[in-house]
Structure 1
Amino acid sequence: MANAREILDRMKSIQDTMKITNAMYMISSSKLKKAKASLDETEPYFYSMQMAIGRILRHVPDMKSEFFNQRPEIKPEDRKVGYIVVTADKGLAGSYNHNIFKDVEECLKNNSHAKLFVVGEMGRHYFEKKGLEIAHQFHYTAQNPSVSRARNITEKILEEYLNKELDEVVIIYTKMLNGVQTETETRHLLPLEKEHFNKNVPVGVQMEQLAMVPSAEALMENIIPIYIQGFVYGALVESYASEHNLRMLAMQSATDSASAMLNDLSIQYNRVRQAAITQEITEVVSGAKAQKRKKKR
């Protein structure tokens, strides 16, 4: 059994760790609130872009656009797919990064022409360690998602897609289901599907009149990049919020475990102290008896 000094040292170490986990919990809580507020402020604008695409398609359903081109002439096994992978810059967030890597590896099994576009240092380290080639690493922190950064990612992806260096674009990120649950989401970004935007209008219902200047095609060419940018931004923010949500849960679990360890060590310390005191009393009594026998002689 450890002595009292060793137990006290362990208790001090655990208490110091608890201070760190509590601080990380509070920091993640603050960042989570900020991320949710940011998403709530920007979502309406990008939803409006989605609605605008749907309105244009209702009036011009046969529109030709490279963004909707499914490229059926390319066989499935020959299609070049770009994966935007959103990871964190650090760990201590439960299964956040592990779940992303698991889904990415599952996707790569089914595609021999995949290209990785990685956000976050954890993703870069993981794929480099696995020997997987990264087509592009976005060299900025995943801890500060912004519309500007989403625009940079979108421009890079659209450039390769329109130049036919990519046939499809998929984004893999973490989505918040509620205040506690998250899940990894694999979303197909390009090419877009008209059915996703078209809402069935009942027969006989008069549609709104639209004046599309200079043309419906020109409007679509300008709106779709903004829509994709909005989706990428939403994915970055949701991933950021999910990371801190899972980190809060992980830090709370660590704090609870540390508290339980402190309780066990406290009991152990009291037992050691009691044994030491009992030993001291026994030694004093034994010494007193020995002195008494010595005097009688």
Structure 2
Amino acid sequence: MPTTRELRDRIHSIDNTMKITNAMYLISSTKMRKARASLIQTEPYFYTLQAMMARVMRHLPEEYTHPYLDLREGVADGKGKVAVICVTADKGLAGAYNHNVIRKTEELLAKYANYRLFVVGEMGRSYFHSRNIPIEEAFHYTAQNPTLHRARVITRKMMEYFEDKEIDELHIVFTRMKNSLEMECEEEQLLPLDKLHPVFVKLPITANYEAFNIFPNTDALIDNVIPDYINGYIYSALVEAFCAEQQARMTSMDAANRNGNELKQKLRIQYNRARQAQITQEITEIAAGAKAQKAAKKKNKQEV
């Protein structure tokens, strides 16, 4: 059984740890409010862009072809060149947030023999580097500060690779916020776009009319709209991932605080019992000593 000093030291250690977890919870809650504000500001633009893309896709001729829309040979058989953007966090202590994204990325990479891996976040970079999985490029300072400029940098690089035929497909793996308490790790193909993708087929058209004139021509429209759509999607993914990270860290730190309080309560009970047993033992020893002294004095009187 641990001594009272050991129990007291352990309780003190838990108190110090809980100061850190409480501070991390407060920091994450502050970042969460900032991330939610960015997400709320981003969603109208992104959903409007999705609705516009759905209208464009519905009005394209069935026989129309474009490099941004057509599947390339060999990709379906796993022989094509595929780029994967993995969006993780720069720090841990966020529950299963990073683990879920990395696991889904590994499942995606296992389907292709020829891939290029692009990583956002230090946790993903460290994980793949430690397992000797080649990383084409790691985008630093992006996970904790998702901005439209950083999204443009990533989009520009991916579009150049795709246009130069260095990659045949582009996928992104990130964590989406389903609601204020629930998140889900998702994988989405960004290039080439599928005209029959559920997002474009099922998304309702907000306009009250179906008339749609393409000017100056279809190629010019696709060349301008799709890069903006890809950039908007990547920026939205970065913001949602940052928001999900803070939510996951808040949940993790809250659970750590609850577990710490429960453990402290159990240790305090053990400490009180140990202290009570120690006091009882001291009283018993004092009483036994007093009794022995009294018996010794009585014996000495009888001898005298």
Amino acid at match of 1:38: S
- Check if 1:245 corresponds to 2:247: yes
Instruction: Give the structure 1 partner of residue 68 of structure 2.
Output: 67
Instruction: Give the structure 2 partner of residue 132 of structure 1.
Output: 133
Instruction: Give the structure 1 partner of residue 185 of structure 2.
Output: 184
In structure 2, relative to structure 1, the CA distance for the partners of 1:80 and 1:245 (3 Å cut) is same
Instruction: Give the structure 1 partner of residue 23 of structure 2.
Output: 23
SS of the counterpart of 2:196? helix
Amino acid at match of 1:233: Y
Aligned residues: 293
Q: 1:282 aligns with which of 284, 287, 297?
A: 284
Instruction: Give the structure 2 partner of residue 257 of structure 1.
Output: 259
The Cα of 1:72 is off from its aligned counterpart by: 4.1
Cα deviation 1:222-269 (Å, max 9, x = unaligned)? 121111111101111111111111111111111111111111111111
Superposed counterparts of 1:46-125, under 5 Å: 46-61=46-61, 62-72=63-73, 76-125=77-126
Cα deviation 1:261-280 (Å, max 9, x = unaligned)? 11111111111111111111
Instruction: Give the structure 2 partner of residue 208 of structure 1.
Output: 211
Separation (CA, whole Å) in 1 of partners of 2:265 and 2:203 = 63
The Cα of 1:51 is off from its aligned counterpart by: 2.7
Cα deviation 1:209-228 (Å, max 9, x = unaligned)? 5362x433223211211111
Separation (CA, whole Å) in 1 of partners of 2:43 and 2:290 = 83
The Cα of 1:41 is off from its aligned counterpart by: 0.6
Separation (CA, whole Å) in 1 of partners of 2:201 and 2:257 = 49
- Under a length normalisation based on structure 1, what TM-score does the superposition of the two structures give? 0.91
RMSD: 2.1
The Cα of 1:55 is off from its aligned counterpart by: 3.4
In structure 2, relative to structure 1, the CA distance for the partners of 1:194 and 1:211 (3 Å cut) is closer
In structure 2, relative to structure 1, the CA distance for the partners of 1:96 and 1:211 (3 Å cut) is closer
SS of the counterpart of 2:68? helix
In structure 2, relative to structure 1, the CA distance for the partners of 1:56 and 1:267 (3 Å cut) is closer
Separation (CA, whole Å) in 2 of partners of 1:51 and 1:284 = 86
Separation (CA, whole Å) in 1 of partners of 2:192 and 2:212 = 28
Cα deviation 1:6-53 (Å, max 9, x = unaligned)? 211110110111111111112212212221221111222232223333
Amino acid at match of 1:45: Y
The Cα of 1:58 is off from its aligned counterpart by: 4.2
Separation (CA, whole Å) in 1 of partners of 2:202 and 2:2 = 71
Instruction: Give the structure 2 partner of residue 227 of structure 1.
Output: 229
SS of the counterpart of 2:78? helix
CA contact (8 A) 1:89 1:143 kept: yes
In structure 2, relative to structure 1, the CA distance for the partners of 1:281 and 1:68 (3 Å cut) is same
Separation (CA, whole Å) in 2 of partners of 1:259 and 1:24 = 16
Aligned-pair identity in percent equals 49
Amino acid at match of 1:156: K
Cα deviation 1:145-166 (Å, max 9, x = unaligned)? 1111111111111110010001
Separation (CA, whole Å) in 2 of partners of 1:266 and 1:232 = 50
The 10-residue stretch of structure 1 (138-147 or 116-125) with the greater mean CA deviation from structure 2: 138-147
Separation (CA, whole Å) in 2 of partners of 1:98 and 1:256 = 23
In structure 2, relative to structure 1, the CA distance for the partners of 1:176 and 1:8 (3 Å cut) is same
CA contact (8 A) 2:21 2:253 kept: yes
CA contact (8 A) 1:175 1:238 kept: yes
